[in-house]
């Protein structure tokens, strides 16, 4: 680990959410990413001896913000989220947008606006810490449903995210990886990187372990939603005549029905 590597702790919450606690030992600063609930977060903080200074929200949905107000009341932490969602994020203190930097102790996160799942969705990229908190934009082997944004917006967002360094750890907000792997194999059956990742995911989940984080290199090679412009996938899925955006939209539709 380099000095800058983030100390990230996964807290399972609700049925399939993860809340991520990111701690900076030098200053004691600690951020909770997308606290769907307060109780499991407080229990983890007590166990670890960490005190919450920030909440980072990727979007306003209740399974990402449900713990905001309780945690703010208990720790006096600052809530960071998209300015575009200012009316919908409970307790928002620090509205942010594209290119803004959020400082958690010695660690800096760069904001990227990633519309698609919702129109205001943002992700937090710790470049030095080699970590991406991707919310419901990018999942491991999947992506979020289109609730508030268009397929073109989501494809543009994912096309930016896949350019991040391959060693970037991808911390997504839901453990959907096993189901995502099954779908991915249905559209990209000959992809050996996907076959390897699916095998690893099955083993992790069978052992009761999270399949999160993955790396951006793994996602680039195996996630069908990052491969809508890949010729092998397009041929296997019978969508070689579509544009990349249309192919992405078609893969997303198939997943919605899978």
Annotated catalytic sites, by residue? 59, 61, 63-64, 117, 136, 174
Half-sphere exposure of 254 (CA within 13 A, CB side): 21
Helix, strand, or coil (residue 217) = helix
DSSP 8-class letter at 77:
P
Position closest to Zn ion via CB: 61
Tell the smallest beta-carbon distance from residue 219 to Zn ion (Å): 19
Q: Which is nearer to Zn ion, 24 or 136 (CB)?
A: 136
First-to-final CA distance of the chain: 40
As beta bridge partners, residue 96 has 82
How many CB atoms lie under 10 A from the CB of residue 59? Answer: 29
Q: If phi over 0 gives left and psi between -120 and 50 gives alpha, with beta otherwise, what is residue 86?
A: alpha
Tell the smallest beta-carbon distance from residue 212 to Zn ion (Å): 16
Interface of this chain with Zn ion, residues 216 to 235, rule: CB under 5 A: none
Interface of this chain with Zn ion, residues 114 to 153, rule: CB under 5 A: 136
Residue with tokens 């996160």: 109
**Which of 61, 84, 174, 234 touches Zn ion (CB under 5 A)?**
61
Q: Which is nearer to Zn ion, 136 or 219 (CB)?
A: 136
Tell the smallest beta-carbon distance from residue 117 to Zn ion (Å): 6
Q: Which is nearer to Zn ion, 54 or 61 (CB)?
A: 61
Q: Which is nearer to Zn ion, 30 or 146 (CB)?
A: 146
Tell the smallest beta-carbon distance from residue 20 to Zn ion (Å): 15
Q: Which is nearer to Zn ion, 24 or 34 (CB)?
A: 34
Task: Report residue 212: phi and psi, to 5°.
Answer: -110, 140
Tell the smallest beta-carbon distance from residue 136 to Zn ion (Å): 4
* # residues near Zn ion by CB under 5 A: 2
Contact window for Zn ion (CB under 5 A) among 34-42, 60-68, 232-240, 241-249? 60-68
List the alpha helices (DSSP H) in the chain.
Answer: 39-48, 62-65, 68-75, 151-161, 177-187, 192-206, 216-222, 231-237, 244-257
Residues engaged in binding Zn ion (CB under 5 A): 61, 136
């Amino acid at each position: 680990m380099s000095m800058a590597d983030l100390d990230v702790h996964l807290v399972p919450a609700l049925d399939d959410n993860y809340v991520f606690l990111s701690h900076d030992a030098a200053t004691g600063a600690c951020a909770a990413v997308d606290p769907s609930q307060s109780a499991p977060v407080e229990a983890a903080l007590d166990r670890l001896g960490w005190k919450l200074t920030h909440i980072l929200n990727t979007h306003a949905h209740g399974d990402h913000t449900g713990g905001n107000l309780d945690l703010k009341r208990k720790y006096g932490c600052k809530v960071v989220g998209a300015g575009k969602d200012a009316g919908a994020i409970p307790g928002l203190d620090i509205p942010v947008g594209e290119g803004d930097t959020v400082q958690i102790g010695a660690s800096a996160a760069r904001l990227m606006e990633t519309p698609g799942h919702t129109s205001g969705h943002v992700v937090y990229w710790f470049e030095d810490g080699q970590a991406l908190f991707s919310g419901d934009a990018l999942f491991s082997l999947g992506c979020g449903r289109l609730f508030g944004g268009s397929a073109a917006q989501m494809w543009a967002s994912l096309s930016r995210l896949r350019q991040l360094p391959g060693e970037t750890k991808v911390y997504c907000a839901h453990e959907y990886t096993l189901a995502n792997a099954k779908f991915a194999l249905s559209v990209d059956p000959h992809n050996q990187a996907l076959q390897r990742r699916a095998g690893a995911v099955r083993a992790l989940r069978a052992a009761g372990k999270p399949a999160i984080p993955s790396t951006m290199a793994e996602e680039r090679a195996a996630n069908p939603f990052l491969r809508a412009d890949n010729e092998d996938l397009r041929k296997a899925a019978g969508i070689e005549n579509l544009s990349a955006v249309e192919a992405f939209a078609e893969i997303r539709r198939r997943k919605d029905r899978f």
